């Protein structure tokens, strides 16, 4: 699972959906605000809690065998959480095909788009001089 907004497998979205199903929408949002001691949006509060705090708690709760394991990029800018009981010989290939390669393609396209804009602006500025 990813902690990435606007994805169907976003862990925060799944947590919110579960809480809303169990408690009802208003009660779930109230519970999140009470737990966070903050009046912010429930999704943002949950996202802020899951990223650093939940995983720290999780590893303290299961020190010898955590249920979820993080697979991270070298600089920790990209993390995929893998449920250990569903890990198979194909898991790393699936992560690469479903998450890493699409993200790399998106970043490359975005880089090229921004580079083209910068070059066109530089051309406009150069022609004005």
pLDDT at 7: 60
pLDDT at 87: 86
* pTM for this prediction: 0.55
pLDDT exceeds cutoff 90 at 93? yes
pLDDT exceeds cutoff 60 at 74? yes
pLDDT at 128: 63
pLDDT exceeds cutoff 90 at 103? no
pLDDT at 53: 76
Taking residues 72-96, report their average pLDDT: 84
CB 90 within 8 A of CB 82: no
What is each CA distance from 129 to 19, 65, 92, 122, 123, in whole angstroms?
A: 60, 65, 53, 11, 10
Domain ranges of the chain: 1-84, 88-129
Between 84 and 118, where is the model more confident? 118
Give the sign of the dihedral formed by CA 51, CA 58, CA 46, CA 19: positive
């Amino acid at each position: 699972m990813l902690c990435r907004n606007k994805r169907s497998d976003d862990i925060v979205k799944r947590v919110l959906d579960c809480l809303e199903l169990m408690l009802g929408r208003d009660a779930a949002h109230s519970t999140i605000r009470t737990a966070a001691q903050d009046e912010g949006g429930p999704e943002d509060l949950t996202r802020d809690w899951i990223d650093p705090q939940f995983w720290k708690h999780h590893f303290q709760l299961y020190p010898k065998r955590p249920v979820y394991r993080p697979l991270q990029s070298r600089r920790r800018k990209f993390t995929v959480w893998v449920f250990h009981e569903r890990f198979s010989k194909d898991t790393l290939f699936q992560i690469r095909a479903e998450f890493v390669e699409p993200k790399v393609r998106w970043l490359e396209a975005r880089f090229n788009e921004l580079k083209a804009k910068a070059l066109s602006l530089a051309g406009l500025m150069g022609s004005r001089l």
